[in-house]
Amino acid sequence: MYKSVTIKIGSNVLTRPDGKLDLERISHITDQIAELHDQGVKIILVSSGAVASGRSLVSKPPKKDPVSERQLLSSVGQVKLVSTYATLFDQHGITCAQVLVTKQDFRTREHYLNMKNCLSVLLENNIVPIINENDAVSVTALMFTDNDELAGLVATMMNSEALFILSNVDGIFNGNPSEPTSVLIEEIHNTGTDLSSFVTTQKSNFGRGGMLTKGRIAQNTAAAGIAVHIANGTKPGIIADLVNQTGEIAHTKFLPGTPHPAVKKWMAYSAGFTSAEVTINQGARDALFSPRATSLLLAGITNISGSFKKGDLLRILDHNGKTIGIGKAQYDSKKAEEHFSDKKFKPLVHYDYLFLFP
């Protein structure tokens, strides 16, 4: 039985085909969570559905522009969504809390630890946090790809034993799920499987995310040491089945890798916050990915683009221009350039502050 889980619930699980909140389903979800909560399982919810529930409340949404529409629908809908949860949890004597976040709240380590503190204090007091992105004030260009990304971040930050990503499909298939020949994949390793070769990029009706982003988030989160289950949230008893690991309901599980140290967990989600880019040669790439703990020396760097200060995060690209990791600079770009030809100068990125994508 898992003792701590982060559960992401997609808009498609919470809404009916007509777009209204599916009260019966939400009630069934809260019943399962309440029972597990009473058994001592620490549960964090990441719930979508604000925009969808806003749509059912505002009969004529403004045709102004997509941003204003999202702001209006999410701010109206979030109230309804969380009050629905609160009423249902209340029937079980459980208190829940609303935590609305933006991507910027995870930007610096200080912000990140502040978020972590908030969720920790809620859990310590037996309160179920219900997190959503603050769609009303988020700047479009700086938003999470979707709530799956947010949920992966939260699960990693809070060291949940498992992350459940619940939508209205059964999991990841080896082809288009609507085709009869496609088969559900029950287990995926956290590295080495290229999901884009068989997962369709098709998006769901009400939410922002698609199966490919779900799969990628799942893979990254699993690589950080958290078991990830992508499952169908519309199936009765699914949450209890996953927590108890009964395995009765078919779904996709991503096997967890070795847990990352805390600082690397934060870095794993910081690709959007880097100050500069460094390109490395093939030899350096091979060395970084070898089983030995290896720091990044200037000797392995072929190009630095952008300036940075000591402590800034750097995006690390391989010789093909592919982002392979994030590292924290041990000194500034001026010093790096001054010592560029000095093969023995201390590493630009120390291994302890280097995160490599799986």
Stretch that binds ligand GLU, among 203-211, 214-222, 291-299, 320-328 (CB under 6 A): 203-211
Q: Which residue number places its CB atom closest to ligand GLU?
A: 207
Least separation in angstroms between CB 52 and ligand GLU? 6
When binding is defined by CB under 6 A, the residue of 129, 171, 207, 215 that contacts ligand GLU is: 207
Nearer to ligand GLU, 135 or 318 (CB): 135
Burial 90-112 (b: 16+ CB within 10 A, else e): eeeebebbbbbbbbebbeebeeb
Beta strand 301-305 pairing with 276-280: antiparallel
User: Does the footprint of ligand GLU cover residue 49 (CB under 6 A)?
Assistant: yes
**From residue 165, how far is each of 76, 151, 169, 262 by CA, in Å?**
25, 8, 10, 22
Output the six-digit token pair for 8.
């992401």
Torsion over CA: 24, 28, 29, 33 (sign): positive
Site size toward ligand GLU (CB under 6 A) is 15
Least separation in angstroms between CB 218 and ligand GLU? 14
Q: Please report, as residue ranges, which positions from 53 to 112 form the binding site for ligand GLU (by CB under 6 A).
A: 74
**What are the backbone dihedrals phi and psi of residue 328, each rounded to the nearest 5 degrees, phi first?**
-100, 130
Stretch that binds ligand GLU, among 127-135, 173-181, 242-250, 281-289 (CB under 6 A): 127-135
When binding is defined by CB under 6 A, the residue of 209, 210, 300, 325 that contacts ligand GLU is: 209
Do the beta carbons of residue 301 and residue 280 sit within 8 Å? yes
User: Does the footprint of ligand GLU cover residue 45 (CB under 6 A)?
Assistant: no
Question: In whole angstroms, what is the distance from residue 115 CA to residue 105 CA?
Answer: 7
Nearer to ligand GLU, 87 or 98 (CB): 98
User: Does the footprint of ligand GLU cover residue 251 (CB under 6 A)?
Assistant: no
When binding is defined by CB under 6 A, the residue of 4, 72, 135, 210 that contacts ligand GLU is: 135
Element (H, E) at 228: strand 227-232
Least separation in angstroms between CB 138 and ligand GLU? 9
When binding is defined by CB under 6 A, the residue of 11, 32, 160, 294 that contacts ligand GLU is: 11
Site string for ligand GLU, 137-156 (x = CB under 6 A): ---------xx---------
End-to-end CA separation in angstroms for the chain? 27
Residues contacting residue 293 through CB under 8 Å, at least 6 positions apart = 351
Give the count of beta carbons closer than 10 Å to the beta carbon of residue 315: 21
> Which residues in this chain contact ligand GLU in the complex, by CB under 6 A?
11, 48-52, 74, 132-133, 135, 146-147, 207-209
